Amino acid sequence: MGVPRAFNALKMDGFYDELVSPARRNEPVSSRILKVLSQLSQDELDQRREAAELAIRSMGISFTVYSEGSTIDRAWPFDIIPRVILLEEWQRIERGLKQRVSALNRFISDIYADQQIIKDGVFPSWVLEKSVNFRPECVGVKPAFGVWSHICGSDLVRGKDGTMYVLEDNLRVPSGVSYMLENRAIMKRIFPELFEHQDIHPVGEYPGQLHATLAALNPNGSRHPTIVLLTPGIYNSAYFEHSYLAQQMGVDLVEGSDLVVQDDDCVYMRTIGGLQRVDVIYRRIDDLFLDPEVFRPDSALGVPGLMRAWRAGKVALANAPGAGVADDKVVYAFVPDIIRYYLGEEPIIPNVPTWQCARPDDCAYVLDNIAELVIKPANESGGYGLLIGPHSTPAQRKKTIAQVRKDPRNWIAQPCLNLSTTPTLTAKGLAPRHVDLRPFILSADQQYVTNGGLTRVALQEGSLVVNSSQGGGSKDTWIVDAQALGEAGDRA
């Protein structure tokens, strides 16, 4: 079965395309999807897109872009052409993600205990000494199961030759999983025929898996755990996700003022029936705002005494405070060594090659070749602060060079990967757009990886920035079992 004509017109310009590149176009899964899509006219595709946009508005799916000033909520940008990953490849990626998060959790435990990895010369002390996310208040704490990052979102990108790389690990308060779930709901609403005769793995079990992960952390084993989700409030960019996950798990969505720590070091929730003991808190507030008694005294978002309750073992926090010590792009460069050190295994998923500006030779190379590289600050997220050399202006490069020279520890650089593309419906018709992928990994007494994850797509032609806060959109991600094609039907 050949690739339908409408998609053959797409120009890949040397990039690996997730659906129609030569390596993918003749696969039965891709061919079947393309056949269905190609039977639709441009007007019909536009009507499906309009139906998706209407569904997004009616379902209230939104996010916030801080730079848009008076605009609080913005409709979630979604593209109707799915991104497909075959199950055989995904199973290897899933093993690699579990391996990576296991090693990172052991690393964090070690850093807040004996720091043996530093004593053994595998991890340099200078990285830790200047870490802005190392929390001395966490030294000596031993969370249940040795897990600090219970919810991790690792960003994956595919290079020109089809190799999948880990681009970064988000171990503090990663966002986006709610959009993964809603994307699937939208697709099933507007493209039911695409789900016929395809063994597409489901994503809807995530809220249940998240609840089970949080319940496993209950430090008060004799009690049925009371779990809450702690949000900064409606002005946070991820507030939709906070409220969505709380609703899906059937737990209370609370703000700091809803909780109080009593003299018994236990956390209580204020309810109309009086105070109710809380056992587990899924916090979506950064460390520094969690507890004004310990961190920023001017924070009105957190709960006074929360760290005291956590250290006393009266309440579990997910993710644990201090987990961000491994959510540092300089630490990222050492993850392959961390995997080998703690697990005695070779990394299953490779890192993107990385230069560390704190090393003089690396820094000199980066400054000499800044126009060809991607330069990133060590502790920013959401695409803020990075410089994409080939797309930058002289003034932007001059500014970044000054920042690197001022604080080289805070910067890394990577080659400008030719990120893979996938067909995307634009105002001018179908066109290739660059994508990445954020799977979510849950860890407690056992591990769970989402089937696929959130595919983010750069909606602007030629752009490599996929973050929604920078104008990116998203797609539904399908993990498809080619062996079962035509047998199992829709399990999504």
Instruction: Give alpha helix (H) positions in 143-201.
Output: 177-190
CA distances from 7 to 3, 459, 478, 485 (A): 7, 18, 19, 22
In whole angstroms, what is the distance from residue 18 CA to residue 420 CA? 7
Q: What is the DSSP string of 282-317?
A: EE-S-GGGT-TTTS-TT-SSS-TTHHHHHHTTSSEE
Q: Of 55-64, 205-214, 433-442, which gets the smallest average pLDDT?
A: 55-64
In whole angstroms, what is the distance from residue 302 CA to residue 371 CA? 42
In whole angstroms, what is the distance from residue 302 CA to residue 267 CA? 12
In whole angstroms, what is the distance from residue 50 CA to residue 55 CA? 9
- Give strand pairing partners of 355: 413
Read off the pLDDT of each residue in 20-29 and give the average, rounded to a whole number.
77
66 or 189, which is more confident: 189
pLDDT at 73: 66
Q: Cis omega (within 30 of 0) on the bond before 220?
A: no
CA 266, distance to chain mean position in Å, is 31
Read off the pLDDT of each residue in 144-169 and give the average, rounded to a whole number.
95
In whole angstroms, what is the distance from residue 265 CA to residue 276 CA? 14
Please choose, from the candidates 437, 383, 47, the residue with its C-alpha nearest in 3D space to the C-alpha of residue 203: 437
* 182-218 residue pLDDT tens: 999 999 999 888 887 778 999 999 999 999 999 999 9
Beta-strand pair 259-261/447-449: unpaired
First to last CA, the chain: 25
Is 470 a residue whose pLDDT tops 70?
no
CA atoms within a 13 Å half-sphere pointing along the CA-CB vector of 359: 12
Please choose, from the candidates 289, 374, 373, 321, the residue with its C-alpha nearest in 3D space to the C-alpha of residue 171: 321
The secondary structure of residue 4, as a DSSP letter, is: P
150 or 15, which is more confident: 150
213 contacts 448 by C-beta, under 8 angstroms: yes
Domain residue spans of the chain: 5-88+183-199+441-490, 355-415
Per-residue pLDDT band for 24 (boundaries 50, 70, 90) equals: confident
All residues at 6 or more sequence positions from 58 whose CB lies less than 8 Å from its CB, including other chains:
none
CA pseudo-torsion sign 195, 197, 202, 204:
positive
In whole angstroms, what is the distance from residue 243 CA to residue 178 CA? 10
CA 20, distance to chain mean position in Å, is 26
224 contacts 279 by C-beta, under 8 angstroms: no
- Give strand pairing partners of 457: 435, 473
303 contacts 256 by C-beta, under 8 angstroms: yes
453: left (phi over 0), alpha (psi -120 to 50) or beta: left
Is 5 a residue whose pLDDT tops 70?
no
Which helix (H) or strand (E) element contains residue 343? helix 335-343
pLDDT at 386: 85
In whole angstroms, what is the distance from residue 492 CA to residue 442 CA? 20
Is 1 a residue whose pLDDT tops 90?
no
* 88-108 residue pLDDT tens: 999 999 999 999 999 999 999
CATH architecture classification, 355-415: 2-Layer Sandwich (3.30)
Instruction: Give alpha helix (H) positions in 62-150.
Output: 87-111, 116-119, 125-129
In whole angstroms, what is the distance from residue 274 CA to residue 272 CA? 6
413 contacts 376 by C-beta, under 8 angstroms: yes
Read off the pLDDT of each residue in 251-262 and give the average, rounded to a whole number.
97
In whole angstroms, what is the distance from residue 476 CA to residue 422 CA? 12
Could you tell me the two tokens for 119? Answer: 């004593």
